[in-house]
Amino acid sequence: MTLLQRDRENIELGREEGSISATKILKLHNKGMNNESISSSLQLDPEYVSSVISNYKNE
């Protein structure tokens, strides 16, 4: 495996994990949880949580 292949695989894994996190954030948001609670329960950066929700509302 070359370094480029490894980097591509890691990028793809990061995308998948980000997608899963975003899905969890939106599910909790739709259940009525506030951003701070979502951030705390999923152990994610509050700015990331706010960004995901903001992007979802703008679509």
CB 46 within 8 A of CB 39: yes
Tell me the pLDDT tens digit for each residue of 1-59: 798 888 788 788 777 776 788 999 999 999 999 999 999 999 999 999 999 999 988 87
**Positive/negative CA dihedral, 58, 8, 17, 51:** negative
Residue 58 is predicted with a pLDDT of 86
Residue 4 is predicted with a pLDDT of 81
Residue 47 is predicted with a pLDDT of 94
pTM summary value: 0.74
Q: If you search the block for the tokens 């996190």, which residue do you land on?
A: 21
d(CA 20, CA 2): 27
Residue 20 is predicted with a pLDDT of 81
CB 38 within 8 A of CB 27: no
